Structure 1
Amino acid sequence: MAVCEENLSDYSAYSELCDDELLQIAIQRSLTDTNQSSSASSARPAGPNQTNTNSIQRCVDPPRHRPYSPPPQPPPAQPAGVPNSANPPTGLSWFLYKGFARVLSPLQSLIMNGDSEALMDLVGRGSSSLTDQNDEGWIALHEAAYYGQLQCVQILIRAHPDSVNVCSSWSQTALLLAAWGGNTSCVEFLLKHGADVNIANKERETPLFTACERQSESVVELLLKFGAQVNRCTLQGETPLHIASIQGHVQICRMLLAAGARLQTRNIYGIQPLFRASQSGQADVIKFLAKKGADVNGQAGDGASPLFEACKNGHVSAVEMLLSLKADANRPKRSGLLPLHVAVLNHHTQIVTMLIPVTSRASIRHSGISPLHIAAEKDRDNIVKLLIEAGFDVNAKLSDERSLMYEDRRSTPLYFSVYNRNLEATQMLLEAGADPNRDVFNPLLIAVRLGWMEMAALLLRHGANVNAQISIHPSSFPSAILINMESLSMLKLLLDHGCDARSCFVCPHGLKPHPAFSMARHPTEELQVSGDEPPQNPIQFCEAVSRPSLFCVSGPIISLLLDYVDHVRLCSQLLEVLQSRSDWTSIVLKAATTRPLMQLCRLKIRRLLGVQRLQLLHKLPLPVPLIRFLLYDIHCSSELT
């Protein structure tokens, strides 16, 4: 039943008890879940959004300043093991429950459980605990509003009417807390008893803002009826319409607009309400706001458009709605990125499919980066395939500005896929016509440096320059040999595909003594471009092969190279290397001996054919042994005689 004024003086049942004893009784009631409190609770009229919390406990009483967001529903039902009428306390459960319940103050327990009778006795005693503020500045009225206990709110307001607008330390009023909980009956009572509808918390969030955030239609309607300022902004510049758009509540948006909400209001980031709806994928709100005149292309401070945000967050329905409303798919952010770029970046394949037909290739070129670059960098193989099939340029290069963001100055999608060891994407790009020789550092050098035989072979089959050089680490012989000559299998692969072995034996010092050189000189671990590095003299092969790290394989390296050259003369440094071990004497003899005629013929034929034609030998009507011989599958033998 409703609480009458006369009821406030009727507390004779507790007249002999002190305040502490009275509060202890309230706690005991909440623990034992007595029939008396249950029947009183069931007889109390509940507001449309109010829930009976009489038998509810909580583990920890949370902080209620703004950084903490109160739960959207009343506190969770008490956990198993908490003593009540269906679960009588045992020694163990009582011990566990003490740890569970001791965080509640007696007054909080009383109010949370809606014990209006005990509360009236406290009022009748003139207890100061009802108006004393806790550490967060809350008084009893705040607690009652927060838990939606209408009878407690009524008792406290009638006893202390001047407390209706008391603020907590975070400037929260009872009205704001009731609005947060969607407690319509409490909100209405507070408004009718002097609550200021526009008092905001320290974040400048008003009760109306809070009600919109909680999607409480009835509370919003009440607040607007009592004069809530519909365009009041928070510290972040957000209005109630912003937050209602995020939540996707069309009816609340309609109510706010009817009350004078402005569609074009921007928050501190330049974001309008329709932009907010796009961020959270609220297609219905987007449609509604656009119909009311909102700008579907209204950009934020960083240049992002509503479509860009919807694509970034993967909201398919919102993207469909924006495109149907003629949102511009070619409006870039200040960074130059388009909606298609960010859809690829975040792997939203369905949205990529929707954007491809409406995205201008000229806009992509102007951005300085192709979606293929992003797809290759992020290993989006399905999107790489999709973009290739849509006709995107597989040889598109990053703009100079974007290329400078990478230490290796990469520029093509192919480089990204090779760098990521993505064989499938690399093959798709190469088969679609990607040129493996367009980057500052040839992608082949990455595969060689890290010993990726399959990747290196794939690149070589598609025309990668096997004799490419690293300009910042010049050498007198191919850089591919320089960076991984210790791998004999990789070295042979390079030589089979036309790597210039003869340059390894060209030494300016010949048989003369070599000047001292730093044994620390070796190819860089990472391919990087640095303007701070001074020009270097080219590294000679004899210098590179003499490194201590190659001591065990220097002989076999030289021996393998000799198979791919005609008559050469070893320099004094190479002779010194080979003479350091007795088992390498045969390699010295191999270099000094006249080369076999068949070897010279093979070299001549290979030189005349060139690297690309050598790969087509198997298509010619030639004897298989001859093809194998020319491709170094077999050495000189009687099989060809």
Structure 2
Amino acid sequence: MAEGELQKLLPRLIQEGQLALLKEEIENVGNLSEDVQRKHFGRSGDTLLHYAARHGQLSILSYLVETLEMDTELFNNDYKQPLHEAGSMGHRDCVLYLLNRGATVNCLKKADWTPLMMACTRRNLEVIQDLIQHGGNPLLKNKDGWNCFHIASREGDPQVIQYLLDVSPGIWDTESKIKRTPLHTAAMHGCLGVVKVLLERCHYRPDSTDKCGVTPFMDAVQHGHLDIAQLLLEKHKEGHTGTIKTLLSLGADLNAKDGKNRTALHMACAGQHAACVQILLQAGLRDSPDSTGTHAQQLVKKSNLLQLFWEIPVPSCP
């Protein structure tokens, strides 16, 4: 069989889980078993081990390691090792196999990502636990200054966050190279459950700023996650008048709504934040009904706040 055909055939057989056919092809070509031990395929430079780990083919993985004696720490063009692949795809059996065969748990791929970081891009708590129990260091940072806690905060699984805090209680106290905290990350990506855990168990200042002056509250509002914005308003009782002004000056969408059709005005009124309500009304935000038909004004409990709706005439939407 021509070299080019083998380049396509062998990875395809692995992807499809065709162990018998893979063995047959390798055994039928002289010296092929020695050739594939370190052979790299395609533009990414993956070895057959990478393909097996990525697609969760444990039987093929064990054949390549135990019969063909392939090195579990071969890396591709991005310095990614098979353990990175298995971790990133959540294949627990392959992760455990590679670890038990001596794969380095804290190996680094390009941009300094560890297998644990890759595993945290998925909601697979068991794989994350396995890596940490085998010595995975949750405090390591990649080239952008993110540790696995930043990554897990972006993905939004509260159970993973709780576990990481249990095994490393100080892991929350971290910033990226541009001074963004995991709270920034969770707020930006709309991970309400994670934000609740972070506010309960960690000690973030809800008005902490990154290098660009952006707070978690600003991230939440800019991306339409108003339920998170409300949580942060409640945490920071004086109300984020400065950040609201900054948002408006930066051209933020005044009429942004969340999944329940609520605007920032609903959030400010629910939290009884008069200064925020005043700024929003003066900026021209109309009081519109949410998905239940409730206007922001109906959430007001304080007379001085209700008076703002009379003093700053803003027509309500029908």
Answer yes or no: is the 8 Å Cα contact 1:263–1:273 preserved in 2.
Answer: yes
| Deviations 1:151-192 (CA, angstroms, capped at 9, x unpaired) | 111011113545211111011111111111111101110111
Find out whether 1:176 has 2:77 as its counterpart: no
Q: Distance in 2 between matches of 1:292 and 1:318?
A: 16
**Cα 1:331/1:203, change in 2 over 3 Å:** farther
For residue 282 of structure 1, the aligned residue among 186, 191, 196 is 191
Q: Distance in 2 between matches of 1:327 and 1:197?
A: 44
Q: Distance in 1 between matches of 2:145 and 2:244?
A: 22
For residue 358 of structure 1, the aligned residue among 259, 273, 278 is 273
* Deviation of 1:382 (Å): 4.7
Alignment partner, residue 39 of structure 2: 132
Q: Distance in 1 between matches of 2:81 and 2:280?
A: 51
Alignment partner, residue 51 of structure 2: 143
Instruction: Output aligned runs, 1:368-447, within 5 Å.
Output: 370-372=279-281, 374-375=283-284, 381-382=286-287, 390-391=309-310, 393=312
* Deviation of 1:301 (Å): 2.0
**Cα 1:131/1:200, change in 2 over 3 Å:** same
| Deviations 1:167-220 (CA, angstroms, capped at 9, x unpaired) | 110111111111111111011101111111112221222111111111111110
Instruction: Output aligned runs, 1:285-300, within 5 Å.
Output: 285-297=194-206, 298-300=208-210
Q: Distance in 1 between matches of 2:245 and 2:265?
A: 19
Instruction: Output aligned runs, 1:310-349, within 5 Å.
Output: 310-326=220-236, 329-330=239-240, 332-333=242-243, 336-337=246-247, 342=252, 344=254, 346=256, 349=262
**Structure 2, unpaired ranges of 5+:** 289-294, 298-306
Q: Which amino acid aligns with 1:358?
A: H
Instruction: Output aligned runs, 1:179-258, within 5 Å.
Output: 179-258=87-166
* Deviation of 1:337 (Å): 3.9
Which fold has the larger relative contact order, with Cα–Cα distance below 8 Å and residues 6 or more apart in sequence? 2
Larger Rg: 1
Q: Secondary structure at the match of 1:245?
A: helix
**Cα 1:181/1:253, change in 2 over 3 Å:** same
Find out whether 1:267 has 2:176 as its counterpart: yes
Alignment partner, residue 18 of structure 2: 115
Alignment partner, residue 106 of structure 1: 9
Superposed CA RMSD in Å reads 3.3
* Deviation of 1:322 (Å): 2.5
| Deviations 1:549-598 (CA, angstroms, capped at 9, x unpaired) | xxxxxxxxxxxxxxxxxxxxxxxxxxxxxxxxxxxxxxxxxxxxxxxxxx
| Deviations 1:75-128 (CA, angstroms, capped at 9, x unpaired) | xxxxxxxxxxxxxxxxxxxxxxxxxxxxx8011111111121233345555411
**Cα 1:222/1:352, change in 2 over 3 Å:** same
**Cα 1:389/1:187, change in 2 over 3 Å:** same
Q: Distance in 2 between matches of 1:345 and 1:267?
A: 31
* Deviation of 1:283 (Å): 2.0
Q: Distance in 1 between matches of 2:310 and 2:219?
A: 26
Q: Distance in 1 between matches of 2:237 and 2:222?
A: 15
Q: Distance in 2 between matches of 1:234 and 1:335?
A: 34
Instruction: Output aligned runs, 1:496-511, within 5 Å.
Output: none
TM-score in terms of structure 2 length: 0.78
Q: Which amino acid aligns with 2:15?
A: M
Q: Distance in 2 between matches of 1:173 and 1:202?
A: 10
* Deviation of 1:147 (Å): 0.9
Q: Which amino acid aligns with 2:64?
A: L
**Cα 1:308/1:299, change in 2 over 3 Å:** same
* Deviation of 1:323 (Å): 3.3
| Deviations 1:268-306 (CA, angstroms, capped at 9, x unpaired) | 221111221111222221121222223141322222222
Answer yes or no: is the 8 Å Cα contact 2:156–2:194 preserved in 1.
Answer: yes
Q: Distance in 1 between matches of 2:273 and 2:308?
A: 16
Q: Which amino acid aligns with 1:270?
A: K
Q: Distance in 2 between matches of 1:359 and 1:285?
A: 28
Q: Secondary structure at the match of 1:163?
A: coil
Answer yes or no: is the 8 Å Cα contact 1:144–1:150 preserved in 2.
Answer: yes
* Deviation of 1:336 (Å): 3.4
- What is the count of residue pairs matched by the alignment? 287
Q: Distance in 2 between matches of 1:302 and 1:373?
A: 26
Q: Distance in 2 between matches of 1:391 and 1:304?
A: 32
Q: Among the aligned pairs, what percent are the same residue?
A: 22
Q: Distance in 2 between matches of 1:254 and 1:373?
A: 41
Q: Distance in 1 between matches of 2:244 and 2:256?
A: 19
Answer yes or no: is the 8 Å Cα contact 1:332–1:338 preserved in 2.
Answer: no
Q: Distance in 1 between matches of 2:46 and 2:15?
A: 14
Answer yes or no: is the 8 Å Cα contact 2:40–2:46 preserved in 1.
Answer: yes
* Deviation of 1:381 (Å): 4.9
| Deviations 1:39-76 (CA, angstroms, capped at 9, x unpaired) | xxxxxxxxxxxxxxxxxxxxxxxxxxxxxxxxxxxxxx
Alignment partner, residue 414 of structure 1: none
TM-score in terms of structure 1 length: 0.41
Answer yes or no: is the 8 Å Cα contact 2:37–2:68 preserved in 1.
Answer: no
**Structure 1, unpaired ranges of 5+:** 1-19, 28-103, 365-369, 395-424, 430-641
Q: Which amino acid aligns with 2:177?
A: I
| Deviations 1:344-398 (CA, angstroms, capped at 9, x unpaired) | 253564332221431527x97xxxxx535643xxxx6556x9799625657xxxx
**Cα 1:160/1:237, change in 2 over 3 Å:** farther
Answer yes or no: is the 8 Å Cα contact 1:330–1:338 preserved in 2.
Answer: no
